[in-house]
Structure 1
Amino acid sequence: MSMRSSTRFRSAFTGAAVCSALALGTVLAGPGAAVASTETGRNSTAASAQAACSVYWKTGVDYAGLTAGYSWAWNVVIRQGDTGDRVREIQCLAIYHGYSLTVDGQFGPATKNAVTAFQRARGIGADGIVGPSTWRQLRK
């Protein structure tokens, strides 16, 4: 097989694998799954894809709990103004526990309000900041 044929085969194979993985993720998420936009926001003409926010049980080396697959954080402090996968994890877990949020990775006022309400409902310090005790409760 020539180098050019090998590259074409690898590209076709990789593309098929990505399509299969996306289709499988859609099937596994099922109805009622939260949806997160993966649009970068840098360019208004950028294509966006929809990703499922599906929560499942995970067993780690030292502990087990719920996760959405964005982060396995337990002791990291996350607060309003933070961004990224840990925030997406919080948003997905809050949705799993019945709170209405958009999964965008931005810890804004809506996420803070949901976290504060969750903390009140669980009887832990209601400050809107996700620290170790809030992580533990989110992962139950």
Structure 2
Amino acid sequence: MYQATTRQIVVTVKPAYLEEQSDPPGGRWVWAYQVEIENAGDVAVQLQSRYWQITDAAGHVEEVRGPGVVGEQPVILPGDSFSYTSGCPLPTPSGIMRGSYHMRNDIGETFEVEIPAFSLDLPGDHRTLN
């Protein structure tokens, strides 16, 4: 489990290797990651967009930007949380992901919330932040 807090927004990520969707001989390893975004502050926030930086074990970097997450731009009230699960295929058996969410609060402020760097490693392998 990986966690980061920015302006009382707590982001927790739990990655998991998806062996049944992976094809190592074909050069494809797939992970799911569950994200929980908790609003520990006293003002509602809306997740407007996301940014991901995905680095495989060969050092290849892919950047992904887009509106919301899993087709939603959730409003997270104080004391509430929003969870979702997504996935990431890689051409190598390990990698790392990090990123940020662009948020807007009820006061009209916009700000970036850190998504903690998390390692994508095969079960039983030593975790390495590439």
Q: TM-score, normalising length from structure 1?
A: 0.26
Higher RCO (CA 8 Å, separation ≥ 6 residues): 2
Q: TM-score, normalising length from structure 2?
A: 0.27
Larger of the two Rg values belongs to structure? 1
Q: Which has the higher helix share?
A: 1
